[in-house]
Each structure stands twice: as structure tokens, then as C-alpha cells.
Amino acid sequence: MSLSGQGLSPGTAFGQARVIDTRALLAAAVAVEPTGPAEVEIERLRAAVARATVELDRVQRHLAERIDAGQAAIFHSHIALLRDPQFIAPMEQALRTSPLSAEAAVARVVSDLHNQFLSQPIPLLQDKAADVLDIGRRLVHGLRSSLREGEVVPDAGRIIVAHSLTPSQLVRFARQGIAGVVVEACGPRSHTAILARSLGIPLVAGLPDISGTIAEGTPVLVDADTGRVTIDPAIDELRDWHGESSPNRRSVEPDFIPQPAVTPDGVTCQVLLNLSDPVEAPTVSLLGADGVGLFRTEFYYMGCANWPTAEESYQVYRQVASELGDLPLHIRLVDFGADKFPPYAEFPFSRNPSLGLRGIRLLLAREDILRPQVQALARLGRERELTVLIPMLDSLDTLHETTRRLCQICGCSERSQLPFRLGAMIEVPLAALQIRQILPHVDAVSIGLNDLTQYLLAADRDDTFVERYHDAMQPAVLRLVAEVITAAREAFCPVTVCGELAGDPKLTGLLLALGLRSFSVSRASYKAVLDAICHLSIRGVREFADRLPELATAGEVREWVQRNLLPPAP
């Protein structure tokens, strides 16, 4: 059987399915502590029910459109169960009578019901057991995206099949040598997708109820280049696959020939790499990149068993630096919160994690995390040139507080004495709007286009429901980016755009037009961005900067792109 989804990280893979088990998820949910009094937990539960209903409705319509009426009917019955007061009322009752979290109430009621259905002598009722479990999984995921199906240790070469994966799960699975990933839900600009691309793990998403469709151990062929997933492929399908690509192909092309990033009219640009895992560092010389524009250190933390010490972090940073020679290196302080957290951390779980304690705000509240990382970076900074990036900087107030804390840790009294250059990630609209006040207090700025777009447009980068609204082609996003680039250039402050959106070659021309000369992209986008730079003359794109104030819709921006930016030669 072949299914069609969305390939989010290129490559192909073949292996046996490792299906992530829902019962372990419910067991983990029972242990979750309440975040507030009963009314708060009931409100959280109701929000999760509403969200699951919308999600199921979407899955059902998706299947109905593909004329899979049988499967669509299953989801119709799931929706009916969610609307059934007999199903939800016992959860609310449990919350009113004992100090439970909404997660624990769901897990208890769902596990009881599951057992009741399983013990029925009638097969039709036994089938209901799986439905109940599936709804329980959806509700728990909706309540707490950080909670996952326990400590799964897949064997090397497996294809992970799950409803969704967190970045930290993917990091752990990658270390076990998994071959590919197939999930129901994952946004193209989510950290899980970014990481899969960085690690070269083929990933296909958008397959409804995939963990209920593929049985444990079934052979699965994943073609993330086309988005096709073949369950139990026939011998000739496997032969074709072996014939046209090497097994478990990764995303960097082995025959890539490095070339300088110079536009046809002679303007030299910088194309840096975003690293998620220290093991990716050799890719910089493989691709001939100009250095590392963003080392997302949080994924290194996710692969550790405990908080790394200053010594451990230093060794990792030094190893990355040793791959670069004298090339520029930008290391970001850990950006935990929202969807990223190491498995050993217990951070406060906010109602809206993307607007909660995240990035530098979390670090300022947690000296125990900030200090060892800064000590490690300071040690490296005394040995080679280094820029340390502040994640999710919001305001000048936070910048001053951060600088003071960094100076304290490094034993100096002002920024100019820090053993590294200080860079600000510009990804919160406030920081972008305050750019002219921020610039005198930093040595570099890096525009995090994924988050800047998310926060400016109120569209979660990780939420497939609003994927089309997370659109950097909105003129307001481009105008804000233009303002940051112009201000930085006027202040002679280096400015880079990083993030997955910076790797979209359609945006490359627009960013060049707005004056950007430094791009930092993941290795999966590197070649396309380099090609775009080498085929777009600055003279040809400059007009866009003059037109931008008049453009009112993303459609008008796209029209301009269509008319003026020739696609780069293949």
C-alpha cells in the first residue's frame, strides 16, 4: 500500500517500522502534576477537547476527499465520542474531586475505558478499545506537546512511525541510527523538521492516523523527495529504489562542487551554515561554506543525560571550532522553552509555551543553565574569534540585563571586555522595532526569520493548521526585515538572516534587494541559496526595495517574484 504525504526532509530510507506506543504515553500522563486549581485544569481539558475535535474533523475531510469513506467514518466516530458527555464528564468529575492534572484525568479515564472495551466478548466493542486509546493520545498531545510515549529505544535502521515527534525525541532516535521518520503531524518550519534536515533523516508528514495504520515491524519504504510512503513494498519496488538511489540516502549531495557566492554583477555574499548537531561541523568545509552563522546548542543538550558541565560544553564547542579553522563561528545560548527542552529538565509549562518563559528570558531566570554555558563560551572566546548570540531577545531592557549577567560571569565590567563578540537574535517584533536602540549595544545581529514571522503574524510556525499564514512574503515581514538590515548597515554592524525561511531561494532575491549580503541556512537549503545568489544580479533585484512600500499583499509580492526573479538554472 502506498500513502502520500509531505516530504519535509529529503532523502529515502527503507527499514522496519518502530511504532511509538500510546499506552506508555498515557502512563507518563498519569504522573503529570496539575498546573493550577481544578477550574484551570477543566479549562485546559475543554480546550484540548475542542482542539482534538477540529483536528479530527480536518483528518476526516482529508480522507473523504481522497474517497476513503471507510477510514473517514472511523474519524467521524472519534468526533462523536469526543462530543459524548459520557466520555468527557468522568474526566471533569475526576478533576473536581481530586487534585489531578488534566493529562492525568484523561489518562485515567481513557485507560479504564480501554480495559473495559478490551474485556468485552463482542469483537465490535473490542475494536472500540483502539479508538478510545487513539482519542486519549490526541487529547494528551493537545494538552502537553512535550509529553511523549516514554523511553523508546529503536534499533538502528528503523523507520519511526508516530503521531508526532519532539525535537528531543528525534535527537535521541538519531543517535540510535534510525533510517527515517513518518508522522501524522509536523510543520515544515518546526524544530523537528529543521533537525531532521540537519541530520539528513528523511521525514514524511501529513499522514492521518499513521501510527494506527502501520503495524510494528512492517517493512516501510520512505521516499521523502516525493512524499510517498510504501508499506510492505513489493520486491520490484525495492529493486527500483535500490537502482535509482543509494540506500538510506542523506540530504547532502556527495558530488556537490563548492563555489564562491558572488552575484553575476560581482557582489560577494556570505553563505554560512546553521548547525543543529556538532557532528554536522565537517559539512562546512564539505560545502565550502563561509562559516557557521548559527549553532543551535540546544540539540547538543538534548542528547546529553544531564545538564552538561562547562568543561563538557567547551569540549564540544572546541571540536566544532576545530573543523572551521579561522572561519566565523556564531554560537547561540540555548533557546529552551516552547517546543525545545532537554529530557532531564522540568521547566514550568506555560499555557502558551511560545509566549512563555523561552530563550533568554528562561536563561535569566536560570543561572544554573546560563553560567556553565557562558563559562564554556568564554573559554573558547579566549582562544579564537567567536560571536555569542542571544536567543529571543525582546527589548533593550533585557539586553542590558543580559550584558550585565554575562559580564558578571566572565569577571569583567563592560561589554567591550567580554571574551566574545555579543550578537542579538532579532526574532521578536519588539527587538526589530527597537533595532536602532539595540545596535549600539551589540557587535552583530542575526534575524531569526522563522520566529520573527511567527510572532509578527500570530501564526505558530509549528502548527500545520496555520501553515499558510506563516508567510514571510507578507509585505509587513519584509518591511520589518528591511528596516533591520538598513539600520544595521548604517551602523556598520554585521547582519545575517538565518532560520529555515532564509533557505527559501525565492526569498534570496528579495533579501538581496533589501541589502542583505549574509545568509545562514541549513545544509539542505545551502545549494539552492548559493545557486540563487550566483544567478541573480543586484541590479536586477534592486527595484524590489523601491516597490516594497507600495505592495500590500503577499500575493503582490509573489507576483513581483514571478515576474522579476528568474528561477536559478537547475
Binding residues for Mg ion, rule: CB under 5 A, are 427, 448, 451
- What is the CB neighbour count within 10 angstroms for residue 534? 16
* Least distance between ligand PEP and beta carbon 161 (Å): 26
CA-to-CA separations, 175 to 168, 196, 223, 274, 311, in angstroms, rounded = 11, 12, 21, 19, 22
* Least distance between ligand PEP and beta carbon 298 (Å): 8
Contact call for residues 343 and 172 (beta carbons, < 8 A): yes
Q: Out of Mg ion, ligand PEP, none, which partner does residue 291 contact, by CB within 5 to 8 A per kind?
A: none
Please give the DSSP secondary-structure letter assigned to residue 18.
E
- Whichever of 462 and 531 has its CB closer to Mg ion, that residue is 462
Please tell me the number of Cα atoms within 13 Å of 39 on its side-chain side.
Answer: 0
Grid cell for residue 109:
479515564
* Least distance between ligand PEP and beta carbon 450 (Å): 3
Crossing angle (nearest 10°) for helices 22-30 and 102-118: 130
- Whichever of 71 and 464 has its CB closer to ligand PEP, that residue is 464
Helix, strand or coil, per DSSP, at residue 129 = helix
* Least distance between ligand PEP and beta carbon 191 (Å): 6
H/E stretch holding 422 reads strand 421-426
**Rule CB under 6 A: which residues touch ligand PEP?**
294, 296, 335, 427, 448-451, 498-499
* Least distance between Mg ion and beta carbon 353 (Å): 13
Q: Out of ligand PEP, Mg ion, none, which partner does residue 498 contact, by CB within 5 to 8 A per kind?
A: ligand PEP
- Whichever of 448 and 568 has its CB closer to Mg ion, that residue is 448
Position 85: which residue type? Answer: P
Position 95: which residue type? Answer: L
The Cα–Cα gap between 17 and 127 comes to 22
The Cα–Cα gap between 536 and 561 comes to 12
The Cα–Cα gap between 65 and 191 comes to 30
The Cα–Cα gap between 119 and 110 comes to 14
* Least distance between ligand PEP and beta carbon 184 (Å): 22
Contact call for residues 333 and 360 (beta carbons, < 8 A): yes
* Least distance between ligand PEP and beta carbon 499 (Å): 2
- Whichever of 158 and 358 has its CB closer to ligand PEP, that residue is 358
- Whichever of 277 and 451 has its CB closer to Mg ion, that residue is 451
- Whichever of 168 and 211 has its CB closer to ligand PEP, that residue is 168
- Whichever of 337 and 540 has its CB closer to ligand PEP, that residue is 337
Per-residue b or e along 50-63, where b marks 16 or more CB atoms closer than 10 Å to that residue's CB:
ebbbebbeebbebb
* Least distance between ligand PEP and beta carbon 44 (Å): 25
- Whichever of 13 and 338 has its CB closer to ligand PEP, that residue is 338
Contact call for residues 389 and 330 (beta carbons, < 8 A): yes
Q: Out of Mg ion, ligand PEP, none, which partner does residue 102 contact, by CB within 5 to 8 A per kind?
A: none
**What pairing do the DSSP bridges indicate for beta strands 518-521 and 329-332?**
unpaired
- Chain residue at closest Cβ approach to ligand PEP: 499
